[in-house]
Amino acid sequence: MDTFPYLAQSAFPLVWILVPAVGAFVRTRHAPSPQQALETWQRWWAIGAFGCGSLWMTVAFLAFPDVMATAIGFDRTPFMFEIAFANLGLAVMGFRAASASARERITIGLGGGMFLWGALAGHVYQWFANGDHAPGNTGGVLVNDLLIPAVMIILAVRSRRPAATPRPAAEIAA
């Protein structure tokens, strides 16, 4: 196994976490309020991590099924077509989350989590039960499957909390 190509293939999925995180960080450095910064983070995460990441997986599984089969350590099967469209559903939900309410974002995160956390469990099972160390099975995909829905949910839950408002001095004294 050639180490650099393996590491590059294994780490590539992290692009879908790093780009939105860096973009949101840059955009919120001078945000006028914590609420606006949180909203910006949610939109970057929804579009970049959830939407674009899932759309990329859709395209990859449809356009390059042999490459994807090799990347995940399996033979090409018709099931890969189903995975492509499951990812398309995630992409649509991610793009929708960009303009959704906090409650909808929580639901989108939970819905995406059911698929991605199940995929994570499958990757880990294949890793330990069958020794599948293919870069698309044990690399950055594990981080993505865990964090993309989890961060969506955490950000949405945080945005539901009311902003801390200072209490009037008369109320404190009483």
**pLDDT band for position 120 (cuts 50, 70, 90):** very high
pLDDT at residue 103 in the model = 96
**CA 119 – CA 97 distance, rounded (Å):** 21
Specify the pLDDT at position 164: 52
The pLDDT value given to residue 94: 97
**pLDDT given at position 5:** 87
Q: What is the mean pLDDT of residues 21-39?
A: 97
What are the distances in angstroms from CA 87 to CA 7, 30, 93? Answer: 24, 34, 10
Residue (of 103, 60, 72) closest to 111 by Cα position: 103
**Mean pLDDT, the chain, as a whole number?**
92
Q: Given pLDDT bands bounded at 50, 70 and 90, which one contains residue 4?
A: confident
CB 146 within 8 A of CB 124: no
pLDDT at residue number 80: 95
**Is pLDDT larger for residue 128 or for residue 4?**
128
Those residues whose C-beta lies under 8 Å from the C-beta of residue 138, and which sit 6 or more positions away, are 10, 123, 127, 132
Note the pLDDT of residue 163: 57
